[in-house]
Amino acid sequence: MHLKSDDARWGSMAKFFHWAVVILLLVQATIGLVMVQLPKRPNVIPWFNFHKSLGLTILLLALLRLLWRAFDRHPLPPLAMPRWQVLGARAGHVLLYGLLFAVPLTGWLFDSASSLRPLFWWDLVKMPNLTGGPDADLKPIAQAAHLWLFLALAAVAAGHAAAALVHHFVQRDDVLRRMLPGRRSLSTPNQESSP
């Protein structure tokens, strides 16, 4: 098991963080979009609590992932990849990381500004209130920001996934394979795709 990444492939820690966050985001987005449509009755509260705890878990995973990344290597882009694409991919990844923090933080901010109930992470840890109490001015701003930043995350992630598929099926390089679970990447830094 290669925990750390090298020049040719992602290590299992980076893969774990990537795919765990993708799966949890899909669950989280579905719950978020459905729960706000439900009639406001007491039986929806557990869904809101679940959404908040799962959202804070995604925030924690994003933090741990960035920490791990700081000490990990980063596979090289394919040799044949033009510079604008390398820069575009990097900008996309920076944006994805930014949104991965901004979406849960605005959810937390909205919850704090509403101050309906104390916020608990899985009934275990009492989380601080970011606004120190109800804040009627901030509440609608945080609520709208949570939705719009989520939509931005969904759009950038869709473009990112499409780019991964283009790498695999059109450019036929190792970019997707080296992020998939298992040791599928057999070639050295994408020699196949070099001219």
CA-to-CA separations, 174 to 72, 87, 131, 170, in angstroms, rounded: 19, 18, 46, 11
Q: Please, which of residues 122-141 interact with ligand HEM by CB under 6 A?
A: none
73 binds ligand HEM (CB under 6 A): no
At its nearest, how many Å lie between ligand HEM and the CB of residue 1?
Answer: 19
At its nearest, how many Å lie between ligand HEM and the CB of residue 163?
Answer: 8
Tell me how far apart the alpha carbons of residues 157 and 175 are, in angstroms, rounded to a whole number. 16
Tell me how far apart the alpha carbons of residues 135 and 155 are, in angstroms, rounded to a whole number. 30
- Out of 13, 15, 32, 193, name the contact with ligand HEM by CB under 6 A: 32
Tokens coding 172? 């036929």
173 binds ligand HEM (CB under 6 A): no
Tokens coding 158? 């869709």
- Out of 143, 171, 185, 193, name the contact with ligand HEM by CB under 6 A: 143
- Out of 135, 142, 150, 190, name the contact with ligand HEM by CB under 6 A: 150
- Out of 107, 113, 131, 142, name the contact with ligand HEM by CB under 6 A: 107
CB 182 within 8 A of CB 19: no
80 binds ligand HEM (CB under 6 A): no
- Out of 165, 172, 181, 186, name the contact with ligand HEM by CB under 6 A: 165
81 binds ligand HEM (CB under 6 A): no
Give the binding range for ligand HEM (CB under 6 A) out of 20-28, 129-137, 183-191.
Answer: 20-28
96 binds ligand HEM (CB under 6 A): yes
What does the buried/exposed string (b/e) look like for 9-19 if buried means 16 or more CB atoms within 10 Å of the residue's CB?
bbbbbbbbbee
Interface ranges with ligand HEM (CB under 6 A):
18, 21-22, 25, 28-29, 32-33, 36, 48, 51-52, 55-56, 58, 69, 74-75, 89, 93, 96-97, 100, 103-104, 107-108, 110-111, 119, 143, 146-147, 150, 157, 160-161, 164-165, 175-176, 179
